[in-house]
Chains A and B, each alone.
Chain A
Amino acid sequence: MTGPGYNFAYLDEGTKRMIRRAILKGIAVPGYQVPFSAREMPMPYGWGTGGVQVTAACLLPEDRLKVIDQGADDTTNAVSIRRFFERTAHVATTTSTTAATVIQTRHRIPEHPLREGQILVFQVPIPEPLRFLEPRETETRRMHSLEEYGLMHVKLYEDIARHGTIATSYAYPVRVEGRYVMDPSPIPKFDNPRLSDCAAIQLFGAGREQRIYALPPHTQVVSLDFEDHPFDPGKAPHDCDLCGAVDSYLDEVITDDRGGRMFVCSDTDHCTCRRAAGHSGRLAAPLPAGRA
């Protein structure tokens, strides 16, 4: 795959130009879904074809790329996309959040605050937050253009009526700069507060649905809620068992078939850095396999 036959970062320059125009429009109108003519990518839909195209359009030879999947740098999706750009763009890659200039992510925002100059690219399966209540695309577009967002609260109302609390725990709808309601991609609602006033550029790419949207730096993003049921980011009532972090998003890992479990940071880079800095959690010793 290396060598001739591929342009830098796989896509041809005309396509990148088209995607960049969509990105610029998205940044100019935060939260607005810009249509673009997504290309077939050498990976299946649902594996980040939208995110990959946005990343390809943003990458420069001197960039340093980090790819995460559910916070981890070593899962299949992350490894394959990182390898894809190593081969087609020959860019440097990293697992460090602070060292990276472009971060493509699936379902998480890194724990470490992003800085100015970084670009965070989200993979989005369904960009339309109103889709499950209003199946007609013509109608949802009109609702966006006329700012008719009552329906979004109907979804939250249904949650409370059925579960007693807003049970939507990921892809939690947000309102951008008091205008567009946006689906923040399936990040946990724990990450929602980080969308707001972020110093980095946040780009969202949906390949199958052919939409790009964006949040420029320091955009105000508010999670929707009711006055008597305010937004709650939620957090598992545990500390990380490896690095002892009390404020990170945790994965529950089943360790045996007798009820043993541990909670670890979903952001592997965050956890590794904290352990290297001397923090340690309940099970931080070199882990014996199958410990109860």
Chain B
Amino acid sequence: MGAVELGISAGMKPEGPLLSVRGLTRFYGARIGCADVSFDLWPGEVMGIVGESGSGKSTLLSCLAGHLVPDAGEVILATGAGPRDVLAMSEAERRRLSRGDWAFVHQNPRDGLRMGVSAGGNVGERLMAVGARHYGDIRARATDWLERVEIAAERIDDRPSAFSGGMQQRLQIARSLVTGPRLVFMDEPTGGLDVSVQARLLDLLRGLVREMGLSAIIVTHDLAVVRLLADRLMVMKSGRVVEQGLTDQVLDDPQHGYTQLLVSSVLQV
């Protein structure tokens, strides 16, 4: 789909999709979590998933990231050794992936950070998890990343509990991106932040995503977020994808009744 001509995948070989999802289904007992979700994510592409509470967005994201085991479907990831089904990998391989090749940004920074460990330690943890054993290097990279997410370098030894909500979220992003992942999952990255902080965070995220050529899947219920960040959009309702397409196309010319409702219920200030 229209990812190649977006021109953001510089340096990546757009030979095939980075992630292709086929028929992903997860039930909670008799209830549907998400059903029969299929899509392709191309290198450098940002995909938004929107929908109301309970529409299965977070379930889908958790299944993709390996936090939940889906009942059916496959998630094929393009790796150096060819396409691999993430769900068929051993847990060790999957966790190695989640330490290096992809990252997960939680809605609540407290879920993604170690609150008892300094900011530098939080950023450094992922480096140490993939084998960095040189203190000076780890610290230099942590300092660099704190600056990239606009946290003053002298706060490197402060604990996240001494940070504001917006700083914690930026710290979580620094921690996720420090190992240079190819794919980032974000669950409501701006939820719980006030509007001005949201705007700065979005600005920062947009810069980082474009600069690093990241692929990202962003779950949100905030249409402004996807308008700013996402190339492509998927609208979910009751566990099913009701509409997908280019972001501007879906938002400006919604076809499905639910999407029309969603777009029209955004408050205009």
Contact = CB atoms under 8 A, between A and B. Distances in A.
A150 B128 contact: yes
A148 B95 CA distance: 9
Interface in A132-176: 133, 142, 146-148, 150-151, 153-154, 157-158, 160-162
Interface in B75-109: 91-92, 95, 99
A6 interface: no
B114 interface: yes
Chain A, interface residues (CB within 8 Å), range: 10 to 19
B67 interface: no
A158 B136 CA distance: 13
Interface stretch (B53-61, B115-123, B197-205, B251-259): B115-123
Contacts, number: 57
A164 to B, nearest CB: 11
B5 to A, nearest CB: 40
B193 interface: no
B121 A228 contact: no
Interface in B128-153: 128-131, 133-136, 138-139
* Secondary structure type dominating chain B contacts: helix
Contact of A146 (B91, B118, B138): B91
Given A146-B95, A148-B95, A150-B125, A158 B133 contact: no
B124 interface: yes
Contact of B125 (A147, A154, A227, A229): A154
A142 to B, nearest CB: 8
Nearest to B122: A154
Contacts of A45: none
Contact of A154 (B95, B117, B133, B136): B117
Contacts of A147: 92
B157 A161 contact: yes
Contacts of B136: 228
B91 A133 contact: no
A133 B126 CA distance: 14
A229 B135 contact: yes
A55 B23 CA distance: 58
Contacts of A151: 125, 128-129
A157 B129 contact: no
B114 A157 contact: no
B118 A161 contact: yes
Contacts of A148: 95, 99, 129
Contacts of A226: 133-135
A222 to B, nearest CB: 12
Contacts of B156: 161
Given A146-B92, A150-B128, A154-B128, A161 B133 contact: no
Given A146-B92, A154-B124, A161-B157, A133 B114 contact: yes
Contact of A158 (B95, B99, B118): B118
Given A158-B118, A161-B157, A153 B134 contact: no
Contacts of A162: 118, 157
A228 B135 contact: yes
B121 A158 contact: yes
Nearest to A152: B128
Given A148-B99, A161-B118, A226-B133, 19 more contacts: A133-B117, A146-B91, A148-B95, A148-B129, A150-B126, A150-B129, A153-B128, A154-B121, A154-B124, A157-B128, A157-B135, A158-B117, A161-B139, A161-B156, A162-B118, A227-B133, A227-B135, A228-B134, A229-B135
Interface of A: 133, 142, 146-148, 150-151, 153-154, 157-158, 160-162, 226-229
10 closest Cβ pairs, A-B complex: A150-B129, A150-B128, A226-B135, A153-B128, A227-B134, A146-B92, A154-B125, A154-B121, A158-B121, A228-B136
Interface of B: 91-92, 95, 99, 114, 116-118, 120-121, 124-126, 128-131, 133-136, 138-139, 156-157
